[in-house]
């Protein structure tokens, strides 16, 4: 695996990688995520894990977009140590974005792990 460069991704997707990596690193969370909605607005989030409350980074980014009035998702990036995209994350992505949303999973070091669709 090589580190992603500007030539590997569109500038918009590279921005999502930067936002997701920053969200994760800022609080030392297990995951970070960033999404771009149908209007080009971006939302980033990290995993929340408290007593009685656990929300994945992707789920929180989707919730932020929905609560801001977004009606769709153009793409989402998830930063995590492994290539797993949970079924719950896919359900939440599809709830706002429908099927076929590009989902990129990137390591904390910036290596592409998975490129898939919801």
Q: Which two tokens stand for residue 69?
A: 């009035």
Instruction: Give the start-end residues of each E strand in 1-118.
Output: 32-37, 42-46, 48-50, 53-55, 73-79, 102-106, 112-117
pTM for this one? 0.91
CB atoms within 10 A of CB 71: 11
Q: Per residue in 36-75, pLDDT tens? A: 999 999 999 999 999 999 999 999 999 999 999 999 999 9
For helices 87-97 and 57-67, the axis angle rounded to 10 degrees is 20
Domain boundaries, the chain: 11-117
83-94 average pLDDT score:
95
Question: Under CATH, to which class is 11-117 assigned?
Answer: alpha beta
- Sign of the C-alpha dihedral, residues 10, 67, 103, 17? positive
**Res 3: pLDDT:** 45
CB atoms within 10 A of CB 108: 15
Give me the percent of the chain exceeding a pLDDT of 90: 87
């Amino acid at each position: 695996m090589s580190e992603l460069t500007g030539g590997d991704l569109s500038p918009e997707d590279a921005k999502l990688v930067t936002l997701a990596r920053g969200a994760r690193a800022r609080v030392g969370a297990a995951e970070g995520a960033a999404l771009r909605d149908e209007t080009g607005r971006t939302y980033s989030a990290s995993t929340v894990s408290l007593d009685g409350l656990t929300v994945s980074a992707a789920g929180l980014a989707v919730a932020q977009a929905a609560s801001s009035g977004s009606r769709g998702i153009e793409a989402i990036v998830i930063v995590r140590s492994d290539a797993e995209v949970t079924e719950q994350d896919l359900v939440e992505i599809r709830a706002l974005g429908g099927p076929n949303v590009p989902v990129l999973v990137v390591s904390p070091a910036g290596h592409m792990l998975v490129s898939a669709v919801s």
